[in-house]
């Protein structure tokens, strides 16, 4: 896993993009570990975070709450959050909850952003 942005001794203009692939179910059981991991990644100034939700099979209100929390943390620190999903069910949930316009939604990985190392892939077994 890479360093948290903003934790170096020297100020840097270069922004590190953290890519986290989430797998399985984002629910009440997965939320505490996911929240802790995302809090760590968004602790510094100007976090740049890409959450790959394409392998997510289910999300409940607790999972949506975690996504809203990370969005608020990123926004408060003048950062950027992108959600990658091509899942029509997840997009429908976001639309019905009024969250579609709240998140920057992408159908695929943004150009120039590599996938995560194995350590930044979280699934229900890890969470």
pTM (predicted TM-score): 0.80
Residue showing tokens 């942005």: 5
Task: Give residue limits of the domains in the chain.
Answer: 20-122
Task: Give the angle 54-63-113 at the CA atoms, nearest 5°.
Answer: 40
Residue 90 has a pLDDT of 93
Mean per-residue pLDDT, 98-124 = 77
Residue 121 has a pLDDT of 53
Condensed to tens digits (0 to 9), the pLDDT of residues 9-21 reads 333 445 689 999 9
Q: Are 71 and 81 spatial neighbours (Cβ–Cβ below 8 Å)?
A: yes
Q: Predicted confidence band at 120 (pLDDT cuts at 50, 70, 90)?
A: low
Condensed to tens digits (0 to 9), the pLDDT of residues 24-74 reads 999 999 999 999 999 999 999 999 999 999 999 999 999 999 999 999 999
- Topology of domain 20-122, CATH: Transcription Regulator spoIIAA (3.30.750)
């Amino acid at each position: 896993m890479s360093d948290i942005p903003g934790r170096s001794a020297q100020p840097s203009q270069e922004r590190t993009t953290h890519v986290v692939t989430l797998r399985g179910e984002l629910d009440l059981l997965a939320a505490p570990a996911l929240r802790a991991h995302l809090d760590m990644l968004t602790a510094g100034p100007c976090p740049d975070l890409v959450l790959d939700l394409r392998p997510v099979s289910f999300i409940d209100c607790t999972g949506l709450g975690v996504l809203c929390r990370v969005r608020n943390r990123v926004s408060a620190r003048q950062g950027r959050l992108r959600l990658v999903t091509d899942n029509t069910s997840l997009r429908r949930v976001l639309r019905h909850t009024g969250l579609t316009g709240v998140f920057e939604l992408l159908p695929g990985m943004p150009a120039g952003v590599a996938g995560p190392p194995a350590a930044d892939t979280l699934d229900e077994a890890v969470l």
